[in-house]
Amino acid sequence: MKKILPLALLALPAALVAAPAVNWVSRVTMTPIGGHYMGNPAAPTKLIEYVSYTCSHCAHFVGEASAPLRTDYVKGGKVGVEVRNAVRDKYDLTAALLARCGGPAKFMGNHEALFANQSAWIVQVEAYDGNGAAKPTDQIPALKDIGQKTGLYALMNKRGFTNAQLDACIANPQSMKQVLAMTDEAWTKVKITGTPGFTINGTKVDGSTWAIVKAALPPVAR
């Protein structure tokens, strides 16, 4: 006769299995100032990146640092990374507003796509800036015109956004307010000297390369 084990014993192995570790990379939230924070909200180390989308050094940093930051620092919950704007020009402002389309869930993908394709759309920005054609003078129509004629809308279309959605992102007053507030903070309060700029737990990092930022972060446990 087959012996029937008590239900408590049958359930015991499952109870002893540890819960899977949280992958904090998938948690992106908006901070009170309007930045986008990736990682454990209780992370002991918090890195803030101040970026400009028309900055080639920023594109280089994001291309070099994004993967190791995710894998070695953010994933395990020890470091949280927040992206904030330090806008330098109207083209940068256009890109910053477009990066916010789709909310926090879409931000990091938009952010990295804008930098990964920067060399392509910046050529169109330069052509647009120097073509001498009449351009809208009011701010929102001017930013929409930039987006439509410099490849920024086309890039975002590939990410699943319609032109109507992109127009709405450009015209969003709350997004504008947040981007400009972060810009003011970067240049006048934190007093970054250029982009990208960084703070770690509120202390400004003296340098703008991944090697310098990495050295200022806590060592990675192996």
Residue 61: which CATH number? 3.40.30.10
Residues of the chain predicted below pLDDT 50: 8-10, 15-16
Domain coverage including residue 209: 33-216
Tell me what pLDDT residue 220 has: 80
Q: 63 and 116 in contact (C-beta within 8 Å)?
A: yes
In a domain, 17, yes or no: no
What does the pLDDT look like over 46-101, one tens digit per residue? 999 999 999 999 999 999 999 999 999 999 999 999 999 999 999 999 999 999 99
Measure the CA–CA gap between 73 and 210, rounded to whole angstroms: 13
Measure the CA–CA gap between 97 and 168, rounded to whole angstroms: 10
Tell me what pLDDT residue 19 has: 61
User: How many structural domains are present in the chain?
Assistant: 1
Tell me what pLDDT residue 9 has: 45
Measure the CA–CA gap between 166 and 81, rounded to whole angstroms: 26
Tell me what pLDDT residue 1 has: 53
In a domain, 1, yes or no: no
Structure tokens given for 118? 């920067």
In a domain, 187, yes or no: yes
